[in-house]
Amino acid sequence: MNAFRAVLLTTCTLVITVGCAARNSTPVTNLPRSAEASLVETSSPCEWMILATGIGIGSENQWDNLANQDARKSAIMFVLSGGTDPLLQTPAEKQRFGLIMEELFLPQNYESFISWEEMKYVNRVRFENPRQLRISKHFKINRCALREYLSSRAVLENPDEIKLDMPFIAVLPQVAGDHNPIDLLLADANYNHAAAAIESHLTALHFDVLVPKQLQAIDDLVHCEKYLKDVGTDNCYILANAIGSDIYIEFTLSLENSAVAGNEVKKVITSVRAYETTTARLLGSETGYSDRAANSEKALIEQSLNDAISKVLSRIEGYWKVDLERGIQYKVHFAIDRSVPASLRDDIQFGCHDLLKSHSNTVKEMANTSGNFDYLIWVDPSQIAGTTDLYRLLQREFQSQFPGLTLTKVVLNRKLAIFSIVKS
């Protein structure tokens, strides 16, 4: 009997001990404990400097090592999903990342994305309840390498996978009134250098870049101006449409001079805005600041642009992924020639609207002035691969609907189609 009681007591003790251990244990995971981090600056098109916090729990002689590992993971987690411009942007991307996140945060994987680590701590604090060490330090994370890894694991939604290229982006200085942005690029070395610095960021992220400096771009601007000016737009918008960009980036520079200890120092402030070309809808806006230093103006321009342009480009990537789900977007403008009787104008507009609607996923009316009307259309790229296909289709069907009239092309590029309707 006493032996039975001893066995029973031992068994109950074991059950209670295991139960308590189960309640007090935490799930084993490779994810960071703290996940506390913030962006300090954008060092280059591919590198972000992050201030990250790490937590060390366990054996006290391992605290520093564990806290440093956790800080590294926290820095990478911020680039993935923190702030306003994370790599993971859509619900589908976040869901796919959930399938590989434990694998990513294995030391042999995540450490390859850290290009620099500060040796000194910004903060190092011990806590007694619970017993742990919290540290903060700076890291540089290679965002491009991390992005390529996620693409290779089919986490990020890559436009190439659906047979569509990255967007064409025009880089233009902001100008006032009727001034020509190309003239400013050609005449001002600082603005020219700023455009080249933005282009460097774009090409590093595999965007297609248009920096319009050729005389042909000036001719295109003049040619399109009389058709698009009626809807109250500016020269940057008109030029971006004329050269066929999907998006245009507009930038300004401001140079401040001051004296410190008898020495002249400079500071550059840049403003960067990205617009959807066809609608002039603002996609992102950021301001960048350089240090106040005696460096060359060009070095300060690059420094001020680094932070601003990287944030804007993150928003462009997010917009592009969402917009591609609707199809390929085009701006279509119809201009009715004065030779066409006024009595036919309403019928012509109704007919053009119906034609576009029958061949598009979405049709949106934009402007309607005297003899001119604009549309935005989103089409299936497998049905209409470009504006030439659109022109051929509309010309054939327009001719059969209005036998006494002819639809002719005025401007035809990647994103813009301007048609004139004249009497045959």
pLDDT for 42 equals 81
State residue 368's pLDDT score: 77
Domain boundary among 302, 324, 346: 324
In a domain, 260, yes or no: yes
User: Looking at the structure, do residues 87 and 224 belong to the same domain, yes or no?
Assistant: no
On whether both 374 and 270 belong to a single domain, the answer is: no
Is the same domain home to 117 and 263?
Answer: no
Is the residue at 28 inside a domain?
no
Is the whole model's pTM more than 0.75, yes or no? no
Pair 189, 41 in one domain: no
CATH of the domain at 189: 3.40.50.10610
For residue 53, the model assigns a pLDDT of 96
- Per the CB < 8 A criterion, the answer to whether 304 and 269 are in contact is yes
Cis upstream peptide for 167 (omega within 30°): no
Q: Please report the pLDDT score of residue 201 as a whole number.
A: 83
Long-range contacts of 84-87 (CB under 8 A, 24+ apart): 84/311, 84/314, 85/310, 85/311, 85/314, 85/315, 86/314, 87/143, 87/146, 87/147, 87/150, 87/156
**Which segments of the chain have a pLDDT < 50?**
1-27, 159-163, 215
* Beta bridge partner(s), residue 117: 139
Assigned domain for 242 exists: yes
CB neighbours of 72 closer than 8 A, spacing ≥ 6?
A: 52, 54, 110, 111, 114, 117, 139
Q: Measured between alpha carbons, how far is 226 from 384 in angstroms, rounded to an integer? A: 27
Q: Which of 324, 342, 363 is the last residue of a domain?
A: 324
Let me know whether 81 and 201 are in one domain. Answer: no
Structural domain range at position 198 = 165-324
* 101, 123, 149 - which closes a domain: 149
Considering the domain architecture, whether residues 183 and 127 belong to the same structural domain is answered as: no
Determine, yes or no, domain membership for 16.
Answer: no
**Tokens linked to 343:** 């009595």
Give the number of residues written for the chain.
424
Q: Check residue 354 and give its pLDDT.
A: 93
SS3 string, 108-142, reads HHHHHHEEEECCCCCEEEEEECCEEEEEEEEEEEE
141 and 176 housed in the same domain: no
Give the other-Cβ count within 10 Å of 21's Cβ. 9
Nearest to 248 by CA among 323, 154, 343, 173: 173
pLDDT at 414: 85
How many CA within 13 A on the CB side of residue 6? 3
- Quote helix, strand, coil % in the chain, to nearest 5: 45, 30, 25
**Same domain flag for 140 and 260:** no
Together in a domain, 90 and 128: yes
What pLDDT, on the 0 to 100 scale, is given for residue 26?
Answer: 46
Evaluate whether residue 20 is within a structural domain. Answer: no
Residue 78 lies in a domain: yes
Residue 97 lies in a domain: yes
- Answer whether 209's CB lies under 8 Å from 169's CB: yes
What are the tokens at 366? 């934009």
Q: Over the stretch 32-90, which tens digit does the pLDDT of each residue have?
A: 999 899 988 887 778 889 999 999 998 888 999 999 999 999 999 999 998 878 889 88
* Residue 303 and residue 191 in one domain: yes
Shared domain for 297 and 181, answered yes or no, is: yes
Distance of alpha carbon 312 from alpha carbon 247, whole angstroms: 12
pLDDT tens column, 264-291: 889 999 999 999 988 888 888 988 888 8
One domain for residues 115 and 237: no
Residue 30 lies in a domain: no
